[in-house]
A = this chain, B = another copy of it.
Amino acid sequence: MSEKITSRSQNYSEWYTDVVLKAELADYAPVRGCMVIRPYGYGIWENIQQALDWRFKATGHANAYFPVFIPYSFVQKEAEHVAGFAPQLAVVTHGGGDELEEPLIVRPTSETIIGHMYARWIKSYRDLPVLVNQWNNVVRWEMRTKLFLRTTEFLWQEGHTAHATAEEAESEARQMLDIYADFAENDGAVPVIKGRKSGSEKFAGAERSYTIEAMMGDKRALQSGTSHFLGQNFAKAFDIQFLDQDNQLKHVWTTSWGLSTRFIGAIVMTHGDDQGLILPPKLAPLQVVIVPIWRNAEQKAAVLENTNQLKTALAERLTVKVDDRDGVTPGFKFNDWELRGGPVRVEIGPRDVAQQQVVLARRDTGEKITVPQEGLPSRVEGLLANIQANLFKRAAAFRDAHTFHLTDYAEFKTLFEGEQVPGFILAYWCGNTTCEEKIKEDTKATSRCIPFEQDGQPGRCIYCGAAASEKAVFAKAY
């Protein structure tokens, strides 16, 4: 409900938590580091699921479900993987009243158990490619948690594919990153940079990791979706082999890719303002809220009758709610729906009924206009498209205004002096882990990705001055 939230400029982190809690997106669970996703927040997740799921299916993927429990020994089979995940595991030691012979872990990700099954299912080149996705919950024991951004349990989808050749697997991994970027920008209105992770930032067990990186409202980077070319690492660890057309037994090449409820955090932090959440129309659980206004019973009857007509017309193509609560003022309702980020509000009072008009208020700019009721659905559709585009444009402009192309390391350090968060630094980097680590020590900025888009010019590493062919994005990150 419309309680006061911390101002965004005053304390961004408290503002974020206030918005998430008070807009009723999520709440803290009674288990350390876990959250409850409340219906309004889950409605956003359902829209994210739909927006991704049709894209997965259109590119030939099918959904499946693998167990939540994984034998502990499985995780140990891929050396980098176990090193990466061992500190984060939740372990089941007892079942049905007895101690288990082998402890089970609660999946932190499913490469291992899926690898085991693929080894059983894949025999011949005819069985390839295998293109599978699953929507599920995973658990990673996190030390410092934050609603949506980093929680012990989270919801996500994890795609797992197996291919006959490295090229095919590579192109799958790149295709899925493109899908994430397309979804993030077109549905989430969140501009992203597509790129490759550095060696120290890649997924434990991957040959190459790809990422979409977004800039939040406090200028920190948020990794918003990742896709991995796993080479033959898991294929060899789990013995996933196929008889190829040339009659040779070969290991498959695999990929994995995931996007999680973290993306809800990205939406909050990309678009929100001091009044609260601003939802992109394509992912909003309620695109239109109608607030009927009356002073007495006679007015109420007339206004509600007209309201319901409008609702029926709008609901044919849009998600609509009438806020006809008694006992709270229209002003309270306005604030409440602003906090909850509803893209368009329709206000209708007795005079509007008489003149067959309504007031349209858009959440992104706060603008209000009076429009005739005739043709309202297409007008609102147009407005929603406009809001969707505007949110993207605004976020892209914000990011570009806080992106610095640097060649001088002293300048780099100055920007991060104190606890400053300047935004994204684009700078040549030689690819050497030592330079990356030194930069992190000096500035707390990490390499977020090496963008696919490069200008093709050679340069010199911003830290060591050695020859470098690519720029990287450095930023403080969530």
> Do A95 and B65 have beta carbons less than 8 Å apart?
no
When the two chains form the complex, which single residue of B34, B45, B71, B95 contacts A91, counting CB atoms closer than 8 Å?
Answer: B95
A53-97 with Cβ < 8 A to chain B: 62-71, 74, 86-97
Tell yes or no: A407 within 8 A of B by CB. Answer: no
Q: Quick check: A66 and B36 within 8 Å, CB to CB?
A: yes
- A39 at the B interface (CB under 8 A): yes
CB of B92 within 8 A of CB of A90, answer yes
Q: Is the CB of A92 within 8 A of B92?
A: yes
Instruction: Verify if A42 is at the interface (C-beta below 8 Å from B).
Output: yes
Report whether B93 and A65 are in contact in the complex, using a CB–CB cutoff of 8 Å: no
Contacting pair A64 B36 (CB below 8 A): yes
How many copies of this chain are found per oligomer? 2
- Residues of B within 8 Å of A394, CB to CB, are none
Instruction: State which residues 314-356 of A face B: CB under 8 Å.
Output: 327
Which residues of B lie under 8 Å from residue A401 when comparing CB positions?
A: none
- How far, in whole Å, are A132 and B38 apart by their CA atoms in the complex? 9
Contacts of A63 in B (CB 8 A): 39, 42-43, 46
A42 touching B29 in the complex, CB below 8 Å, given contacts A87-B97, A93-B93, A97-B87: no
Chain A interface bracket (under 10, 10 to 19, 20 to 34, 35 or more): 35 or more
Per the 8 Å Cβ criterion, residues 251-281 of A in contact with B are none
In the complex, A76→B204 CA distance in Å? 39
The answer to whether A153 touches B35, judged by C-beta atoms less than 8 angstroms apart, is: no
Closest to A140 in B: B96
CB-based nearest B residue for A63? B42
Given known pairs A29-B67, A30-B116, A95-B141, the reply for A62 and B88 (CB within 8 Å) is no
With the chains together, A100 CA to B206 CA distance in Å?
31
**Residue among A95, A97, A327 having the largest count of chain B Cβ atoms under 10 Å:** A95
Interface flag for A117 (CB, 8 Å): yes
For the complex formed, measure the closest distance between the CB of A229 and the CB atoms of chain B, giving whole angstroms: 23
Which residue in chain B gives the minimum CB-CB distance to A98? B141
Does A136 count as interface, using CB distance less than 8 angstroms? Answer: yes
Question: Is B87 within 8 A of A95, CB to CB?
Answer: no
Cβ–Cβ contact B90 & A95, under 8 A: yes
Q: A90-B92, A92-B92 are in contact. List 15 more A-B contacts (CB 8 A).
A: A30-B74, A34-B67, A37-B64, A38-B64, A39-B62, A65-B155, A68-B137, A69-B139, A89-B94, A89-B96, A89-B97, A90-B95, A91-B94, A93-B93, A96-B143
Closest 7 interchain pairs by CB?
A96-B141, A39-B62, A34-B67, A37-B65, A91-B94, A95-B141, A29-B67
